[in-house]
């Protein structure tokens, strides 16, 4: 009978482990003898310098077998040794480091400065100064060419409150300035003093002085009415004649074609009319106030008229003419009186370019084809040729003299020069500028200092004209 034999189940608990000392020739275990520690040699500490990093090379001897002592009390001997070798690291050269940093800084500076390249071109145009003392004639109508002039007019009123000493019956007529137009014919129209002008409401005003209204003229193919300014006074006293801006007809021309062709319009308001009891102001106060207001009025008129002059025109202060009305008086709400003074200032103005060419033709005929300008026109002394006051509002031409030393400066096309020099070297740019007969001197500066070319970007190029005014 055959029977299966099943070996007993094994586990780690019932497996007999070989002795760890099976491979070693070790004597039977016995009690370890007591070691006298005082006799055991003490290893000496290693005195090494670890203050700086070092590389370590280690040589380790092969492991050896430890044999237990037989028949003595000495401890087992471990045959092991370690050897350390220290190599001092090599330091990088400071010279190489500093050189690298310097090169990087220089390259960075060049890169940044290349972005900020710029050029400044300074030019001095051709210029001459010639003494002048001569007479000239200018016309209001410049359709035929030549030197012309225009008239600028400003109206102003100033006032001052003064004390009154009493009341009295006063009757005054309103006054104002009108502009009379002549569209009837090219012939001038004379109007005598006291000529009547009527408003649509029927109020009558009369001319204070006789005037001559210029006839029509043709400008640029169009017929232009002749005109003149004149002072009118109310036909009667009273505040009802103090009116704003109105249109006027001339009753004397009724039934005549001139009635609709010769007319007027207000240039100023009509003021000063009064009838009734008015505060009394002493003659001394009136005279003193009149002097003060006249001075203030002229200064204000001159300032206001100068502010209206276009940039390309010149106004000579000595060409100003004034028409000042008599001082007027009104009652103030505080119980005193208000003294008022009105005035009109007129002046002739000239086109700077035309006047510069006219003076150059007189002083230097060989340069008449050149484009020039006078940079110090304001410094010239202007005087009317006649001693008597000139009514520039009605005059068709004026004669005057100019004295001084005008500085003629040749006009340079700055934008053209600037565009021609873009991208050129400084030497090439100077050669280009030297071909301009209107330029006297040129300086070209480029930034940074090692840059010797004008940038191609026009925004990085600045052109300065030393004689620009």
Indicate which CATH number applies to the domain containing 192.
2.40.30
Range of the domain at 252: 168-278
Q: pLDDT tens digit string along 203-219? A: 999 999 999 999 999 88
- What pLDDT, on a 0 to 100 scale, did the predictor assign at position 255? 92
The strand pair at 381-384 and 189-191 is best described as unpaired
Q: pLDDT tens digit string along 157-172? A: 999 999 888 888 889 8
Core vs surface per residue 149-167: b (16+ CB within 10 A) or e: bbbbbbbbbbbbebebeee
360 and 328 share a domain? yes
**pLDDT exceeds 60 at position 22:** no
320 and 446 share a domain? no
**C-alpha separations of 93 from 88, 97, 104 in Å:** 15, 7, 17
In the block, tokens 């050189």 appear at 99
148 and 297 share a domain? yes
221 and 310 share a domain? no
Q: pLDDT tens digit string along 121-157? A: 999 999 999 999 999 999 987 777 789 999 999 989 9
Confidence of residue 23 (pLDDT cuts 50, 70, 90): very low
Q: Flag whether 43 is in a domain.
A: no
289 and 398 share a domain? yes
Q: Flag whether 77 is in a domain.
A: no
In whole angstroms, give the CA distance from residue 115 to residue 63: 71
Of 374, 402, 430, the residue that ends a domain is 402
Helix axes 414-421, 426-433, angle to 10 degrees: 150
Q: Poorest-confidence range of 72-81, 113-122, 344-353?
A: 72-81
Q: pLDDT tens digit string along 44-86? A: 555 555 555 555 444 444 454 545 555 555 555 555 555 555 5
């Amino acid at each position: 009978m055959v029977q299966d034999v099943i070996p007993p189940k094994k586990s780690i608990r019932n497996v007999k482990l070989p002795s760890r000392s099976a491979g070693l020739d070790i004597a039977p275990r016995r009690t370890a003898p007591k070691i006298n520690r005082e006799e055991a040699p003490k290893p000496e500490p290693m005195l090494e310098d670890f203050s700086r990093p070092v590389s370590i090379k280690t040589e380790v001897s092969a492991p050896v077998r430890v044999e237990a002592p037989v028949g003595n009390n000495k401890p087992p001997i471990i045959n092991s040794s370690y050897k350390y070798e220290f190599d001092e690291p090599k330091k990088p050269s400071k010279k190489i480091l500093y050189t690298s940093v310097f090169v990087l800084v220089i390259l960075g500076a060049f890169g940044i400065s290349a972005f900020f390249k710029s050029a400044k071109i300074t030019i001095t145009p051709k210029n001459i100064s010639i003494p002048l003392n001569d007479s000239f004639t200018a016309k209001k109508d410049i359709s035929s060419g030549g030197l012309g002039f225009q008239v600028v007019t400003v109206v102003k009123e100033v006032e001052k409150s003064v004390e009154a000493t009493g009341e009295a019956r006063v009757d005054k007529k309103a006054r104002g300035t009108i502009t009379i137009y002549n569209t009837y014919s090219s012939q001038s129209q004379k109007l005598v003093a006291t000529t009547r002008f009527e408003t649509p409401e029927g109020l009558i005003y009369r001319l204070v002085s006789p005037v001559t209204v210029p006839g029509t003229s043709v400008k640029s193919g169009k017929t232009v009415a002749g005109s003149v300014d004149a002072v009118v006074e109310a036909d009667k006293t009273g505040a009802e004649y103090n009116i704003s801006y109105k249109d006027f007809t001339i009753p004397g021309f009724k039934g005549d074609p001139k009635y609709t062709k010769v007319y007027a319009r207000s240039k100023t308001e009509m003021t000063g009319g009064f009838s009734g009891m008015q505060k009394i102001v002493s003659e001394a106060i009136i005279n003193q106030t009149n002097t003060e207001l006249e001075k203030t009025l002229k200064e204000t008129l001159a300032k206001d008229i100068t502010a209206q002059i276009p940039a390309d025109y010149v106004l000579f202060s000595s060409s100003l003419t004034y028409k000042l009305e008599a001082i007027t008086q009104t009652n103030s709400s505080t119980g005193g009186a208000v003294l008022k003074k009105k005035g009109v200032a007129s002046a002739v103005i000239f086109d700077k370019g035309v006047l510069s060419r006219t003076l150059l033709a007189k002083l230097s005929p060989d340069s008449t084809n050149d484009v020039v300008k006078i940079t110090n026109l304001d410094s010239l002394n202007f005087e009317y040729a006649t001693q008597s006051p000139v009514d520039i509002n009605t005059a068709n031409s004026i004669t005057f003299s100019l004295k001084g030393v005008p500085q003629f400066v040749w006009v340079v096309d700055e934008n053209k020069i600037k565009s021609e020099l873009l991208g050129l070297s400084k030497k090439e740019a100077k050669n280009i500028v030297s071909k301009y007969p209107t330029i006297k001197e040129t300086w070209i500066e480029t930034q940074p200092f090692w840059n010797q070319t004008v940038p191609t970007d026009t925004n990085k190029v600045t052109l300065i004209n030393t004689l620009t005014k």
